[in-house]
């Protein structure tokens, strides 16, 4: 069995801008990726990413829009939960990339 090593991952961070023509600032963060499919490994990677974001930008809280996040706001705002409703029907949109 081959041994898989942890690596470095890059992900975008989207931050609100108040006094600017651009409402959102995008930057990339680097953090340690913990290899594996176990929930524990994914949580370690997520925690490392949040720690890097808090340290780099000085944020106290990080809102990750993910269906797997523990934050109660995260799932309704995630791309997997977008819903359009009119007087006759509701449609869920899914973002694939």
pTM of this structure: 0.68
Q: Where are the alpha helices (DSSP H) in the chain?
A: 39-57, 74-77
Q: Tokens 């109660």 map to which residue?
A: 72
Domain boundaries, the chain: 1-62, 67-97
Select from 69, 27, 65 the least CA-distant residue to 47: 69
83/91 Cα distance (integer angstroms): 6
Q: What is the pLDDT of residues 19-59, one digit of tens each?
A: 888 888 999 999 988 888 888 888 888 899 999 999 999 99
pLDDT of residue 58: 93
Q: How far is CA 84 from CA 37, 42, 91, in A?
A: 32, 30, 5
Select from 81, 72, 39 the least CA-distant residue to 63: 72
pLDDT of residue 88: 84
């Amino acid at each position: 069995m081959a041994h898989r090593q942890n690596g470095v991952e890059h992900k975008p961070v989207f931050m609100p801008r108040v006094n600017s023509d651009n409402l959102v600032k995008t930057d990339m963060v680097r953090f340690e990726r913990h290899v594996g499919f176990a929930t524990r490994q994914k949580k370690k990677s997520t925690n490392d990413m949040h720690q890097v974001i808090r340290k780099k930008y000085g944020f106290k809280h990080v809102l990750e829009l993910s269906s797997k996040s523990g934050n109660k706001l995260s799932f309704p705002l995630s791309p997997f939960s977008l819903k359009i409703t009119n007087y006759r029907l509701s449609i869920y949109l899914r973002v694939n990339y």
